Structure 1
Amino acid sequence: MINSNLYKGSLTTIILKLLNENDKMYGYEITRKVKELTKGDLIITEGALYPSLHKLEADGLLDVEMVKIGKRSRKYYKLTEAGTKETVNKLAELESYIRNMRALVNPKFRLE
Structure 2
Amino acid sequence: MSNSNLFKGSLSTIVLKLLKEEGRMYGYEITQKVKDATKGKFKITEGALYPTLHKLEADGILEVEVEKVDNRLRKYYRLTEKGTTETAKKISELEEYIKTLQEVIFLKPKIG
- In percent, how many aligned pairs have the same letter? 63
DSSP-derived class of the 2:43 partner: coil
Unaligned runs of 5+ in 1: none
Q: What TM-score do you get using the length of structure 1 for normalisation?
A: 0.92
In the alignment, does 2:61 pair up with 1:61? yes
AA of the residue aligned to 1:49: L
Partner of 1:99: 99
Change in Cα spacing, 1:3 to 1:62, as seen in structure 2 (3 Å) is: closer
Shift of 1:107: 2.8
Partner of 1:51: 51
Q: Return structure 1 stretches of 4+ with deviation > 6 angstroms.
A: none
In the alignment, does 2:39 pair up with 1:39? yes
Shift of 1:4: 2.0
Contact 1:4 1:42 in 2 (8 A): no
Partner of 1:70: 70
Q: Work out the CA distance in 2 between the residues paired with 1:33 and 1:59.
A: 24
Shift of 1:11: 0.6
Contact 2:63 2:79 in 1 (8 A): yes
Contact 1:26 1:76 in 2 (8 A): yes
Q: What TM-score do you get using the length of structure 2 for normalisation?
A: 0.92
AA of the residue aligned to 1:10: S
Shift of 1:105: 0.7
Change in Cα spacing, 1:77 to 1:3, as seen in structure 2 (3 Å) is: closer
Give the alignment's Cα RMSD to 1 decimal: 1.2
Equivalent residue pairs, number: 108
Q: Work out the CA distance in 1 between the residues paired with 2:64 and 2:5.
A: 28
Shift of 1:3: 5.5
- Greater C-alpha Rg: 2
